[in-house]
Chain A
Amino acid sequence: MALLTCQDLSLGYEGHEILSHLSFEVNKKDYLCIVGENGSGKTTLMKTILGLQSPMGGSITMGDGLKQTEIGYLPQQTVVQRDFPASVREIVLSGCQNRCGLRPFYNKEEKQLAEENMERLGLTSLKKRCYRELSGGQQQRVLLARALCATQKILLLDEPVSGLDPKVTQEMYHLIEELNKKDGITIIMISHDIEAAVRYADHILHIGKTVFFGKTEGYLKSEAAYGFMRGDGIA
């Protein structure tokens, strides 16, 4: 069974429907990129998958024993975070919150998990540093480490490279690819960077005026890709 199945999904907020009859599924170890014009509903789709808002129609089903709270999420940075006085360790550890339930403090395992994920993303030397003093790429890695504390199965990334310079962007993509190929973590990524999307992802979901869902090879030949890759829809 698929990890995540969206069936005839309609999305929107405050009564405005922005997407309708969307169906797709994500299997274990897939690398799916969601592309589309600004305002086509990419972030709304992601929020719906995360359960932050409810769909206006249709259904989202989790399979393979995936629980709603086991989705790791790398959000776009908020204003609040930019001047937040917190150390790297504190933030990464907060990813373990879903394991705690009502227990007020973290246990040894959770602290260990946070250490491992900091190690994995090369953050160990930074762990006492203040989050707001890190570079954009480092901050993204901190948030990625936090997401990895919350899940071992599936990561949702909302434009993980926006605002990063080309070199750091490449590093970020490699990191995500490694998590997908080596650790078998399913990736769902919203991206503006269509070239990187078709290079790294094995599935593409294009939403907007034309909708496409399928393998990347198929997408490259599709009509949706034609207009989009020429640069028509890229803002």
Chain B
Amino acid sequence: MTEVFGKIVLYWQYPFVRYALIVGVLIALCSSLLGVTLVLKRFSFIGDGLSHVAFGAIAIATVLDLTNKMPLVMVITILCAVLLLRMGQNTKVKGDAAIAMVSVGALGIGYLIMNIYSTSSNLSGDVCSTLFGSTSILTLTQTEVWICVVLSVVVVAVFILFYHKIFSVTFDENFAKATGTNADAYNLLIAVVIAVIIVLAMNLVGSLLISALVIFPALSAMRVFKNFKSVTYCSAILSVSCALLGILISIVGETPVGSTIVAVDIAVFALFCLIGMFRGGVKA
């Protein structure tokens, strides 16, 4: 135990480890906030679709050899979020098929672009780290950390300010609309915030695993808690603790960061399912 502790203390002296922890906690916090809404509004697929779009965008940014990829990736992902939301609302084009099309398309084209234009000697390593985030959390520059901090604060502030509106729109969109809440605008806001979170979270867990970060804490919290406020708090706390624990385990055990966090999330989900079953009442 002391050995493990000693190892953590040793690593703590490196700035990149501190950055990773700060960014990890912030991203986990942000991604958990909208998880409940996403799950309940059946929007989880948009999250998944967007993460693939973000991969395509990263590929383009890599080929253009940008030093800071985040702004470009952010813009492309937000645009696609708006697009996907519009398609989801359009009853003539089937929403889920359209989303599958965009997401798989972005993945394919992204890999193709990387393959054709990339000058990197380690192509599969690049692709792997974009998809599974294996190292990017440990190679953050100070600018990226700051961007991440600012965006996280914005996401949390937006969520707190619009908490009650998001609740109404999630619970009953028609009622909200009928009583004068601009539900479409809030849906758009939710989609944009999701896009921001996904781009942020790519650093932590990579594009393929983002949905897990968004959805697991919310699902776990929903097993046990029975009102929106406690579910939100619980999923935020769970998400942050799982991320912290995951990062620490991965440092000590030298496992990939993203998948370790996801594994911790899954374990907690199983635990909460059990707690929910013992407490009874909450149906699966």
Contact = CB atoms under 8 A, between A and B. Distances in A.
Interface of A: 14, 47, 50-52, 68-73, 75, 78, 80-81, 83-87, 90-91, 93-95, 97-98, 100, 104-106, 128-130, 132-133, 146-147, 150
A147 to B, nearest CB: 8
Contact of B171 (A71, A86, A133): A86
A104 B163 contact: yes
Most chain A CB within a 10 A radius of its CB, from B165, B175, B225, B281: B175
Most chain B CB within a 10 A radius of its CB, from A69, A83, A85, A93: A85
B161 to A, nearest CB: 5
Ranked 9 nearest A-B pairs via Cβ? A69-B180, A130-B226, A87-B227, A98-B179, A50-B178, A94-B168, A104-B161, A86-B228, A98-B180
Contact of B164 (A50, A106, A146): A106
14 contacts: A72-B179, A73-B175, A75-B175, A80-B40, A81-B172, A84-B40, A84-B170, A86-B171, A93-B164, A94-B168, A97-B181, A98-B179, A98-B180, A130-B281
Given A80-B42, A90-B227, A133-B281, A75 B179 contact: no
Interface string B257-284: 0000000000000000000000001010
B49 to A, nearest CB: 20
B179 A90 contact: no
A91 B179 contact: no
B177 interface: yes
Interface in B142-166: 160-165
B227 A86 contact: yes
Contacts of B226: 85, 87, 129-130, 132-133
A118 B11 CA distance: 56
Interface in B166-209: 167-168, 170-172, 174-181
A104 B161 CA distance: 5
Q: Is the interface of B mostly helix, strand, loop or mixed?
A: helix
A93 B170 CA distance: 14
B18 interface: no
B231 interface: yes
Contact of B178 (A14, A51, A132): A51
Contact of B174 (A68, A70, A75): A75
Contacts of A150: 175, 179
Contacts of A87: 226-228
Contact of B229 (A90, A95, A98): A90
Interface residues of B, number: 34
Nearest to B218: A85
A68 to B, nearest CB: 7
Given A94-B164, A104-B163, A106-B164, A83 B178 contact: no
Contacts of A47: 174
Contacts of A129: 226
Interface string B54-97: 00000000000000000000000000000000000001100000
Contact of B179 (A78, A93, A95): A95
Given A73-B178, A150-B179, 15 more contacts: A50-B174, A51-B177, A73-B174, A73-B175, A75-B172, A80-B40, A84-B171, A84-B228, A85-B231, A94-B168, A97-B179, A98-B180, A104-B161, A104-B164, A146-B175
A105 B179 contact: no
A73 B178 CA distance: 7
B229 to A, nearest CB: 7
